[in-house]
Amino acid sequence: MLTEFTNRADSMRGGYLLKTEELLTANKDAWTAAFAEHFISACTRIVKMQAEQSLSALSYLEYTMLYTNFIDRRYISEVWVYGQESYLDRNQRAVCEYDVSFLFVYFDELWGELTALQRQYSGRISAQDITAYMLRALPDFYSYLADIARLALAECIAGEPFISIAKNNIFMINTGDYMAGVQTVFEINNTE
């Protein structure tokens, strides 16, 4: 990718990240409440699945960013659960989805602006280059979900249905890439 284009894109990305942070600050209470409501719903579903014995005790619950969803500009986080084998758990599964489009308004605008800017670099910057750039920028925008989750979980973890989930000695709630880099937003360690 051309250095000139990358420098312009990086500058734009920085501006849009700042706007996303401002949006988060302005909507923190509403977004935290919405996440808490979703989390309680996800926990209710998990408790039901465990009662039906289709799901064993959990070690990990992750709000997972699948790049394929974001390539299609579907801003959906999938909630995946794993046993103590982590990513090697043969019974790992997605239990629900969480619409994070509210957090990706400026990410989507950046994508549109870079696509428009691409015309100035006709033949030198391709649509695939833009997509690759946006996928590299994706974790920066997605990281704000961890902030929302931390705030929301503070109230959710003390009550039902969270306390009824069968958990292993080590249990974590994470946000991040599918089977890759994650941010831990909550952890229980009963091995000590």
**So what's the pLDDT on residue 89?**
67
**So what's the pLDDT on residue 155?**
87
**Which candidate, 133, 116, 131, 102, places its Cα nearest to that of 28?**
102
Whether 62 and 182 have beta carbons less than 8 Å apart is answered as: yes
Tell me which DSSP letter residue 15 carries.
H
Q: Euclidean distance between the first and final Cα of the chain, in Å?
A: 50
**So what's the pLDDT on residue 121?**
87
Partnered with residue 177 across adjacent β-strands are 65
List Cα–Cα distances, 77 to 4, 11, 68, in angstroms.
33, 27, 11
Mean pLDDT per 10-residue segment, the chain (192 residues) = 90 98 97 98 97 93 94 95 79 93 97 94 91 95 96 93 96 88 89 70
